[in-house]
């Protein structure tokens, strides 16, 4: 099954512009196929829909639903905190501007219809601060954040982390960004917002290996 999925993912990667690597998507796939949890999956930030198409196939294969949250307008205007970030270690600057990384809802759904399993997907357009407070799914098995901003990630953590089942994982695609790491693991924010210490971020700084340098994850524990 894994080899068949990998071949499907490679075909998608050739046809749709993707921000993730093949290794990164396969690492998340391995977790999902091996997890006994059957709660819904959530993707926040889907760009052109390449990751969405791949995750939708995994969702259908594993008997889950996939909820996709995105503005479908690109990034909002960055706050001062999010305007400039730096790569961990070498301090290269990463500048963000309004409208970057946009993928329209039409383009994303077209790609998922063509390459994925749109029948297991539900698309929720809008900014996270507006849509996530109304998300009613009670128990999640998996969350994937590719949201760039600390403020956006905190919205996702505020509303989604409490819904993640024990043993579930929240993956982020910004594990190599210094300010982002500190922003989503800030102890004061976690205590004030969620009432407990932040979980360990596996892959902080350098990702989950040379071919998954942006990927990190937090696993929900009791």
Closest CA to 49 of 92, 105, 9: 105
CA triple 111-139-186, angle to 5 deg: 90
Interatomic CA distance for residues 39 and 95, integer angstroms: 36
pLDDT of residue 89: 81
Spatial distance between the Cα atoms of 215 and 19, rounded to a whole number of angstroms: 11
Using CB atoms within 10 A of its CB, is residue 182 exposed (0-12), middle (13-18) or buried (19+)?
Answer: exposed
**CA 35, 40, 45 angle in degrees (round to 5)?**
105
Query: For 161-181, how does the pLDDT look when each residue is reduced to its tens digit (9 = 90+)?
Result: 999 999 999 999 999 999 999
pLDDT at 35: 98
Mean pLDDT of the chain: 96
Q: Which domains does the chain have, with CATH numbers?
A: 2-219 (3.40.50.150)
pLDDT value at residue 174: 97
Query: If you average pLDDT over residues 157-162, what whole number do you get?
Result: 98
* Residues β-bridged to residue 41: 66, 142
Percent of the chain with pLDDT over 70: 100
Per DSSP, which regions of 84-187 are E strands?
84-86, 93-95, 121-125, 140-145, 164-172
Q: What is the pLDDT of residue 222?
A: 82
Query: What pLDDT was estimated at residue 127?
Result: 96
Please check the confidence at residue 128 and state whether its pLDDT lies above 80: yes
What DSSP state is assigned to residue 65? Answer: -
CB atoms within 10 A of CB 83: 13
Burial class of residue 19, CB neighbours in 10 A (0-12, 13-18, 19+): middle
| More confident site: 167 or 2 | 167
pTM score:
0.97
The per-residue pLDDT for 92 is 87
Radius of gyration of the chain, Cα coordinates, nearest whole angstrom: 16
Region for 6 from its dihedrals, namely left if φ exceeds 0, alpha if ψ lies in -120 to 50, beta otherwise: alpha
Per-residue pLDDT tens over the stretch 14-68: 999 999 999 999 999 999 999 999 999 999 999 999 999 999 999 999 999 999 9
pLDDT value at 91 more than 90:
no
Q: What pLDDT score does 170 carry?
A: 98
Sign of CA dihedral 21, 23, 28, 33: positive
Residue 191, pLDDT score? 98
């Amino acid at each position: 099954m894994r080899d068949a999925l990998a071949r499907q993912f490679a075909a998608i990667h050739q046809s749709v512009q993707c921000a993730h690597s093949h290794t990164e998507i396969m690492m998340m796939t391995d977790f999902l196929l091996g997890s006994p949890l059957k709660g819904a999956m959530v993707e926040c930030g889907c760009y052109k829909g390449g990751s969405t198409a791949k995750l939708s196939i995994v969702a259908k294969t594993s008997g889950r639903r996939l909820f996709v949250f995105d503005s479908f307008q690109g990034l909002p205007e960055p706050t001062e905190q999010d305007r400039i970030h730096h790569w961990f270690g070498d301090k290269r600057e990463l500048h963000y501007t309004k409208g970057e990384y946009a993928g329209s809802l039409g383009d994303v759904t077209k790609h998922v219809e063509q390459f994925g399993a749109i029948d297991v997907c539900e698309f929720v357009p809008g900014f996270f601060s507006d849509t996530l407070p109304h998300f009613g799914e009670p128990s999640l098995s998996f969350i994937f954040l590719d949201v760039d901003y600390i403020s956006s990630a905190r919205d996702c953590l505020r509303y989604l982390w409490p819904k993640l089942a024990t043993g579930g994982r929240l993956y982020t695609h910004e594990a190599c960004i210094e300010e982002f790491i500190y922003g989503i693991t800030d102890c004061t924010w976690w205590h004030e917002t969620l009432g407990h210490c932040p979980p360990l971020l596996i892959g902080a700084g350098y990702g989950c290996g040379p071919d998954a340098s942006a990927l990190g994850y937090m696993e929900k524990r009791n």
